[in-house]
Structure 1
Amino acid sequence: MSQYAHLSELDPEFAAAQAAKPHQGFDLSVGTLALKEVWKTVLQPATYTALYKPRVRTDAKYSVKDHTVAVEGGEIIVRVVIPEPIEPTQTFPVLVWFHGGGWIFGDVDQDDYLLRIYSTELQIVTVNVDYRTAPEHTFPTPWNDSFTALRWVASNAVSISVSLDKGFIAGGWSAGGNLAATCAHRAREDYLFNDKPLTGTYLGFPVTVHIDGYPEKYKDQLLSMEQNKNSPTLTREAMRFTWDLLKAPPEDPLSSPLLYPSHAGLPPAYVQICGFDPLRDEGLLYERLLRDAGTATKLDVYPGVPHVFNVSNPGIKAATKFEADTLEGLKWLLAGGKQL
C-alpha cells in the first residue's frame, strides 16, 4: 500500500457536496470531437468562466490583447493580460500559462478570467498559451507549441511590458503543469535562456509520467493510479484514453518529465497535489526528485479531494484554501523561491 494511501480518505465536506450532485463524467464512446465541442460550448462556460468571471474585481484595470505566434506547421494565439501601469515605463514579471484538459480539451478562453485575477492581484503580466490539441494534433505538437510560446515571451518581453529579471514563471494545472515542467527542462538546455532563465514553475496537480512509462525502481511508489482509479473528476480510464489518443511514446521525457535523466539546475517549483487523485503519487514523486536534485520546492497537499476539485467543488473550505495557497505560492516564486 502507498505511504500516501491515507490521503485518499474523503474530505467530509467534499463527500457531502459530491453526494448532492448528479452523476458526472464524460461518455467517451460519443467521440472525441463531439466531447470537445460540448466542453467548449457548455461545460467550460458553466465551470471555469462561471466560477472566475465574477471574482475579477470590478475596479481592476488591465489590458487584454491576443498575439499570433508562428509554430511548426501553423500558428497559435497567446493572450496577454497587462496590469495598468502606474507610469508608462513600468514593467512587470510574467507568468506563462498552459491550460489543462488532458492536451485534448480547453483553449485560450478556459482560464481567461483566472489569469485576469492573477494579473491584477499579483501585478504580473500573464501570457495564456492556446497550444494545439489532440486528436487533431498529437505528440509532440502540444509540447512544441508550448515551448515555442515560451521562447516568444523571452524574445518579446519588452513589447509586452515584461522585465524577465523581475520574474519569469511557467505554470499550469494538470496537463498544463506537465507542459510547464517540460518547458523548464527544455529551457535549461536552450541558449536563448542563458541570460534570461526561467525563475520558477507552478505545477498544479501535474501529470509527470505516462501511464505506461513508470520506471521499475519507482513502481512501488506510484500506486495512486490504481488506488484512485475511480475518482469522480479524473479516472484511470480517462488517463488511458488521453495517452492513447496523444500517441506519446511512454518513455519519452518530453511528455514524461519525471523521466528526464537529471532534474538539477531547474528553477524553484511550487507544487499542489490532491489526495484523491490518480496523479497524486507521480506529482509527489516529481516534487521529491526536484528537491533531491537541489531545486527549491514548496508543496501543498489537499487530502481527500480529487483532481481539479477547486473547480468542481468551489464552495468547500479546501477549495478556499487552495485559492489562497495559489496566490501565496506564486508570491513565493516571485520572491525567487525564498521564505516570504
Structure 2
Amino acid sequence: MPLNPEAQRIIDGFPQLDRIETPPNAAAMREEFHRTWRMPADLPPVGAVADTALPGPAGDVPVRVYVPEGTGPFPVLAWFHGGGWTIGSLDENEVACRTVCASARCLVVSVDYRLAPEHPYPAAADDAYAVTAWIAEHAAELPGGGDPSRIAVGGESAGGNLAAVVALRARDQGGPRAALQVLVSPVVGHWADGRASYDEFAEGYFLSKASMEWFFTQYPRDADDLNDPYLLPLRAGDLSNLPPALVLGAECDVLRDEGEEYARRLQAAGTPTELVRYDGVIHGFFGLLATELSVAREAHARVADALTKAFASAPGTGAGSAPAPAAGADGGA
C-alpha cells in the first residue's frame, strides 16, 4: 500500500532522517536528539508521574513510573523504550506511556536501561530482566502501589527486543511469568538474515537498513553474541510456554518481517499471539511519532485493551494465564 499521508509528510519534512553519517557517534547522536526533540505540550493526564530508581545488576536503574487515577494496587507494565539499544530515552515514550497507563488503569514503569556502546550486551537485557524481577517481588513498593501477581512487559523496537528477551529468560531461569508481552516493531532478528522488508524499505522510510547495521556494531560484543537468543529471540529453538503476546508492526519498516515471523513462530509453538500490521505506516508509530501519526491512538487503545483483558485473567498468585485466542495478521487503520 502507499504510505500513509501523515507518514509521507514526516519523511518529506526530513529527507535525511534515516541517513547514518560516517563515522557515526553514539554520544553525538544522543545529544542531537535531545537538542531537537521537544516534549509535546498537551500530555495525556494521569494520576501521578514519579522518577525514581530500582535495583539493577550494576547499580540502580532509573525508571519513570506512571500512576493512573484511583487507588491501587494496580497491575504493572514494565516498558522498554527503543533506540537501537544505543540512543533512546524515556522522554520519547511519554505520550504512549501516559495513554496506556490511563486507559488500562495500570502502573507503567518505563525503564532507562544502560546504553551501548558504553554498556554492550548483555547490559540492557540484564537491566530489563532485573527491573522486571524486582517488580514481581516488590510491586507494592512502587509509587501508587502495584500488584505483583499482575505484571506485563512491553517495548518498541529495541525495547520490544528487551521485552521478548525478558519473557524468554523468565521461562528459562524460573523468573516471573508475565500476563502479556507487548512487542511493537521488535528487533528479534539480524539485518543480514535476508528478510524482504530490509530490501523493500532499506532507505527513505524513517528507519533505514544502514541504521540497523550500525546499531548492530554498537550492542553486541562480538559475532558470537548474534547466536544468543537473549540478544536475538528468533535464534531460540523453542518458543513454547511463553506469555501470550501482542505483536504490532508497521508495513513500511525494515523490521516488519522479523516481527511477523516471530509472531507466527509463537503461534506455532502454542503461545496465544495476536499479530497486527498497520498498513502504510513507518517505524516509530507507537512512541516516538505518536503525536505525528494518528494511527498511534488506535495502537495505544489496542494495547490497553489487551492489557486489561490479560490482567483480568491473571490468577492472582502469579501473572500469565491464557488470554483471548490467537489471531492472525490484519491491516490497521
> In terms of mean alpha carbon deviation, does 330-339 or 92-101 score higher?
330-339
Greater CA drift, 201-210 or 329-338: 329-338
Listed one character per residue, the Cα deviations across residues 147-197 of structure 1 (whole Å, up to 9, x for unaligned) are 1111111121221222233x210001000000000000001122343xxx2
Distance in 2 between residues matched to 1:85 and 1:296, nearest whole Å: 31
Q: Does 1:107 align with 2:89?
A: yes
CA distance in 2 between partners of 1:333 and 1:231 (Å) = 37
The one-character-per-residue Cα deviations of 1:46-91 (angstroms, maximum 9, x if unpaired) are 2xx32xx51313xx4225241242323x3321222233443xxx31
Equivalent residue in structure 1 for 2:270, among 268, 290, 294? 294
Q: How does 1:298-309 map to 2 (within 5 A)?
A: 298-309=274-285
1:119 aligns with 2:101: yes
Q: Find the aligned partners of 1:168 and 1:149 in 2 and give their Cα distance.
A: 12
> Corresponding residue for 1:276?
252
SS of 1:77 mapped into structure 2: strand
Cα gap change, 1:274 to 1:55, in 2 (>3 Å): same
Q: Given residue 197 of structure 2, which amino acid in structure 1 is its aligned partner?
A: S
Partner of 1:173: 156
Deviation readout 1:270-321 (Å, 9 max, x if unpaired): 1101111111110000000001111111121111222113544745553443
User: Matches of 1:97 and 1:278 in 2, distance apart?
Assistant: 22
Q: 1:95 — aligned with what?
A: 77
- The secondary structure found in structure 1 opposite 2:280 is coil
2:265 is paired with a residue of what secondary structure?
helix
1:119-138 equivalences in 2 (<5 Å) = 119-138=101-120
Tell me: CA distance 1:338–1:284, structure 2 relative to 1, closer, same or farther (3 Å): same
Structure 1 residues 226 and 24, CA gap change in structure 2 (3 angstroms): same
- 5+ residue gaps, structure 1, are 1-8
Report the 3-state secondary structure (helix = DSSP H, G, I; strand = E; otherwise coil) of the residue aligned with 1:309: coil
1:208 alignment partner in structure 2: 188
Measured against aligned partners, the alpha-carbon deviations of 1:236-261 in whole angstroms (never above 9, x if no partner) come to: 11000000121352211111001111
Percent identity at matched positions?
Answer: 30
Provide the C-alpha distance between the structure 2 equivalents of 1:187 and 1:305, rounded to a whole number of angstroms.
32
Q: Which has the higher helix share?
A: 1
The answer to whether the 8 Å contact 2:3/2:252 transfers is no
Deviation at 1:262, TM superposition (A): 0.5
Gaps spanning 5+ residues in structure 2: where?
A: 314-322, 326-333
Show the counterpart of 1:162: 146
Q: TM-score, normalised by structure 1?
A: 0.83
Alpha-carbon spacing, 1:319–1:125, altered in 2? closer, same or farther (3 Å): closer
TM-aligned CA distance change 1:306 to 1:33, over 3 Å: same
Please give the alpha-carbon distance, in whole angstroms, between the structure 2 residues aligned to 1:112 and 1:318: 17
CA distance in 2, matches of 1:82, 1:35: 31
Counterpart pick for 2:63 among 65, 78, 81: 78
Q: C-alpha root-mean-square deviation of aligned residues, in Å?
A: 2.3
Equivalences for residues 233-272 of structure 1 within 5 A: 233-248=206-221, 249-272=225-248
User: Among residues 14, 35, 44, which one is paired with 1:41 in the alignment?
Assistant: 35
